[in-house]
A and B are shown apart, each in its own frame.
Chain A
C-alpha cells in the first residue's frame, strides 16, 4: 500500500522501525524480539486509537483513499461470474458507472456502482467515478431489466458527484438523476445500497434510494463536498475541515439521524489496510439483507421503501 495519509505518518514511522529491527534480528540473533514485540504493540495501539477517533475531515481522506477497494474489486471477489452490461441504448456507455448481472453467493443479482479507477489511466477512463446522464440511464435500464426477472439490485456508491460539464448538462444530467431516483423508488424487487467510499450529493443518491442503505465505517455521505461547502459558506476552501465538522456526513452521523440502516465495521486502520476483509464484510452484510428482504411481495417493498424515506427527518411516531 503506497498512499499515506498525513495522520497516518507517525504510525507508518513506527511500523517502519519494526520492520528494520526485524530485519536486524533476522540477520543477527541479537535478542531484539522483546523490543520488536513492544514496538509492534505500540504501533498497533496507535493505529487503533487513531482510527477510533478520526475527525470528519480525516474520514473524508480515508473514504477517498486510492487503495480502498473499488467497484471492480467488489465485483471480482463477490460475483465471480460478473457479466458487465453496457449502454443506455440512446447515446453511449458511461464507464463511470459499471453494471451487470452475476451470481452472488448463489443468488442471481444486478450489481451497479460507481468505478473511480485505481491508476491514472483508469481514473481518466472512468472519469473518476463521476457519471454522465448516460450512466444513470444505463442504471435505470438495467434496474428495469432486473425487476422483470425478479432479481435483487445491489448498488455500490462511490463518487465525488455527478460530472459537471457542458455535455452532461446538454444531455439532461438533472433529468437523468431524477429519473434514477424515481426508478429506485418504483422497483418491485429488493434494493440494497452500500456507500463504500464517498457518497457525493445527487450523483450518489441517484443510486442509493434503497430498502436498506448501509455505509462502511469510514465512508461519508454528503450533500456537498467539504471543500465546496467551505468555499461557499466560509468563502475559503481552506476551511474544509470546519465544513466537514459541520456537515455531519460520517456514517456515524447518518446513523444517528436515522438516514441509513447500518454501519459495516472496517478492519482496524481502514478498508485500505485489509481489502479482502472489508470486501467479505460487505458481502456478508449484503447477503444478510437480501435474505431478509427475500419473499417480501414487490408492492410491499415499494410501499415500505417510500415510507422509510418519508419518515426521514420527521419526529419518531408520536
Chain B
C-alpha cells in the first residue's frame, strides 16, 4: 500500500470535510489522500479505507465496536458524568459551549466511549477515543471514562483494548487535564496487576499527553497504516529545530522502525489480528488443535452487518 503518498494532502482535506458540497450527500465521497471519488456504499463496505490508495479515514467509537467485537456480543459501559468546565474556561469561545456543541454533534458525553463484549469469544472491554469530539482531547471526563472502562475489565476479567485518537491534553481544563496522565496510568497498572492483557491500537492522530501516558504503556502496540503518532506536534518540532522533518516522520511505519510499535495492521485485518493475539495470551493451551485459524480476510462490517447493528447492542 502506498502510504508514502497517503499523508500528503489529508491534513488540509480533513479540515475541508469528507464530501464536497456540490455532490449529492451520502452518494459519493472523496478520498482525502488520493482525491479520487468513491461510491459511499463501497467506502462503508471497505471499512472506510480508500479502495484506490488504501488511505484509512478516521472512524468513531460505534464503528470500532461493530468492527472488532463479535456480532451482537457487546454493550456499552457507561461513563460517570463529571463536572464539566471546572475552570470556567473561556478563550474566543466558552469551553462549556464547545462542550455542548461537541456533545450535540456526537451524541456522546465526552471523547472516550467504551463497550464490553467478546472478541472471538474472549471477554474484552474496548475503549475508543473520538477525534471528532474536541479532537479527542483528554480532560477529567475522559480520564474518568478510561478508569471506569479499565475497572470494568478488571471486574469482568476481560482484556482491555484502547483505540487512541487524540490531540493530547484538553487545555481548557488546565492542570486538571495534565493530572489525567497519572490517573489513566493508574488504571493501566490495575489492569496489569490483574494479569489481564492491555492492548493499544494507535490510530490517526495520537499525540501529546495521551501518547505520553496510557497510549505508550500497552503490552502490545498496534497501529493503523500511516497513522500520525508522536509526542510533540510536527509544527512545534519544526519551529524548534528549524529543519524540515524527514519523510514519513511520526507515521505508524516510522514508529515501528524505531521500535515503538509492534505491528502496523491494515483495518481489514485488525479484528483477526486482535483475536489471534488475545487467543495466544489468554488460551495458552488448546484442548484440541483448532480446525482453522481465524481467517485474516476482510473482517470489518459488511453492508449487511451495518444494516443489522442499528438494531443490535
With both beta carbons as reference points, the residue of chain B lying nearest to A184 in the complex is identified as B182
Instruction: List chain B residues, Cβ under 8 A from A169.
Output: 230-232, 237, 249-250
A130 to chain B minimum Cβ distance, whole angstroms, is 9
Cβ of A202 and Cβ of B181 under 8 Å apart? yes
CB <8 Å contact, A248 and B260: no
Q: In the complex, what distance in Å separates the CA atom of A259 from the CA atom of B182?
A: 12
Closest chain B residue to A162 by CB distance? Answer: B231
Other-chain contact of A185, B83, B186, B232, B250 (Cβ < 8 Å) = B186
In Å, the complex CA distance between A168 and B140 comes to: 28
Across the interface, B92 reaches (CB within 8 A) one of A233, A253, A259, A314, namely A233
CA distance A20 to B10 in the complex (A): 65
Cβ of B214 and Cβ of A178 under 8 Å apart? yes
Which residues of chain B are near A314, meaning CB under 8 Å?
82, 144
- Please report the total number of B residues contacting A with Cβ < 8 Å: 55
Q: Known A166-B237, A223-B174, A313-B143; judge A177-B90 contact (CB<8 A).
A: no
A34 → chain B closest CB, angstroms: 49
Main DSSP-derived SS at the A contact region: helix
List the A residue with the shortest CB-CB distance to B239: A164
Contact status of A173 and B231, CB under 8 A, knowing A202-B212, A309-B179, A309-B182:
yes
Name the contact of B176 in the complex, choosing from A174, A313, A315 (C-beta under 8 A). A313
Contact with B along A214-243 (1 / 0, CB 8 A): 000000011110001100111100000011
CA–CA, A100 and B249, complex, Å: 35
Binary A-proximity of B231-273 (CB < 8 A = 1, otherwise 0)? 1110011001101011001100000001110000000000000
Q: Is A174 a contact of B217 with CB atoms below 8 Å?
A: no
Contact A205 B178 (CB under 8 A): yes
A15 interface contact, C-beta 8 A: no
Taking CB atoms, residues of chain A closer than 8 Å to B177 are 223
- What residues of A have a CB within 8 angstroms of the CB of B232 in the complex? 162, 164-165, 168-169, 173
Q: Does B298 contact A (CB under 8 A)?
A: no
Q: Is the interface of B mostly helix, strand, loop or mixed?
A: helix
Least CB distance from B204 to A in Å reads 15
| Chain B proximity of A138: nearest CB distance (Å) | 17
A312 to B143, CA, bound (A): 11
For the complex formed, measure the closest distance between the CB of B73 and the CB atoms of chain A, giving whole angstroms: 30
Contacting residues, chain B, for A222 (C-beta < 8 A): 174-175, 178
Q: Is the CB of A181 within 8 A of B259?
A: no
A184 to B143, CA, bound (A): 19
Q: Does B59 interact with chain A (Cβ within 8 Å)?
A: no
Tell whether, in the assembled complex, residue A233 and residue B91 are in contact, meaning their CB atoms are under 8 Å apart. Answer: yes
Interface centre among A174, A221, A222 (most CB of B within 10 A): A174
> Does A46 have its Cβ within 8 Å of any Cβ on chain B?
no
- Tell me the complex Cα distance, A129–B174, Å: 22
Q: Which of B166-224 contact A (CB under 8 A)?
A: 169-179, 181-183, 185-186, 188-189, 208-209, 211-217
Q: Are B90 and A223 in contact (CB under 8 A)?
A: no
By a CB distance below 8 angstroms, the chain B residues around A166 are 237, 241, 243, 245-246, 249
Does B39 touch A at the CB level, under 8 Å?
no
Is there an interface contact between B91 and A164, defined as CB atoms closer than 8 Å? no
Question: How many Å from the CB of B19 to the closest CB on chain A?
Answer: 27
A interface residue numbers (CB < 8 A to B): 162, 164-166, 168-175, 177-179, 181-182, 184-186, 201-202, 205-206, 209, 221-224, 228-229, 232-235, 242-243, 246-249, 253-254, 257, 259, 306, 309-310, 312-315
A184-B182, A315-B83 known, 18 other contacts, Cβ within 8 Å: A162-B232, A166-B249, A169-B237, A169-B250, A174-B230, A177-B181, A177-B213, A178-B181, A185-B186, A201-B178, A223-B177, A228-B236, A242-B91, A246-B91, A259-B175, A306-B186, A312-B176, A313-B179
13 contacts across the A-B interface (CB closer than 8 A): A173-B232, A177-B212, A177-B216, A177-B231, A201-B178, A201-B209, A202-B231, A223-B174, A233-B92, A242-B91, A246-B91, A259-B179, A309-B182
List of 7 A-B pairs having minimum Cβ-Cβ separation, nearest first: A164-B232, A233-B91, A174-B211, A174-B231, A177-B212, A178-B216, A175-B216
